[in-house]
């Protein structure tokens, strides 16, 4: 799995300096982006697939190295996939989490979409601070985003990658 993280998340994980080598991936399910954001003095991490923009939000507390991040992300991803009804495809995604390469972010398009998702997440958290992170992730994954010339939802796009 190729995990492209922002400098903010790299500092939290104590992974600086990041390499900017170009790494090829076997599958579209193999490339993920990670970013750290704060709302109301609480840290959260957004974990986004580079090709489908399918995202999960997880609490940032206690995550201070890549291994803990991948454990937390795997749990959050499995819960989100069950919540979406994609539990059949879960093993397909989780098989990529065993071997991790950490690198710099390279796609401004993915980062821009992630920034939109962070804004949406903060809006939901402001409206209801007790809202479940899986519910926020579900709502984000059902928000339309632009894919080339068309608009679609991340939950539909990841389903296309899984089939």
Question: pTM (2 decimals)?
Answer: 0.90
* Digit-coded pLDDT (tens) for 5-59: 999 999 999 877 667 666 667 778 888 999 999 999 999 999 999 999 999 999 9
Total number of domains constituting the chain: 1
Range of the domain at 79: 2-162
* Digit-coded pLDDT (tens) for 76-108: 888 888 877 777 666 666 666 667 888 899 999
Residue with tokens 């190295």: 65
Q: Using an 8 Å Cβ cutoff, are 33 and 114 in contact?
A: yes
Q: Residue 39 forms beta bridges with which residues?
A: 42
Q: How far apart are CA 139 and CA 155, in angstroms?
A: 10
CATH number for 100: 3.30.420
Q: Using an 8 Å Cβ cutoff, are 24 and 75 in contact?
A: no
């Amino acid at each position: 799995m190729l995990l492209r993280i922002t400098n903010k998340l790299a500092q939290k994980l104590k992974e600086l300096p990041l390499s900017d080598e170009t790494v090829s991936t076997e599958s579209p399910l193999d490339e993920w982006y990670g970013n750290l954001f704060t709302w109301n003095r609480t840290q959260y991490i957004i974990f986004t697939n580079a090709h489908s923009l399918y995202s999960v939000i997880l609490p940032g507390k206690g995550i201070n190295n890549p291994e803990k991040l991948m454990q937390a992300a795997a749990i959050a991803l499995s819960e989100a996939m069950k919540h979406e009804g994609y539990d059949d495809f879960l093993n397909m995604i989780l098989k990529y989490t065993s071997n991790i390469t950490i690198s710099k972010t390279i796609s401004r398009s993915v980062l821009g979409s992630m920034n939109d998702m962070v804004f949406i997440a903060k809006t939901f958290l402001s409206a209801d601070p007790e809202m479940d992170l899986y519910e926020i992730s579900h709502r984000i994954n059902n928000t339309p985003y632009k894919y080339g010339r068309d608009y679609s939802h991340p939950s539909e796009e990841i389903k296309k990658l899984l089939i």
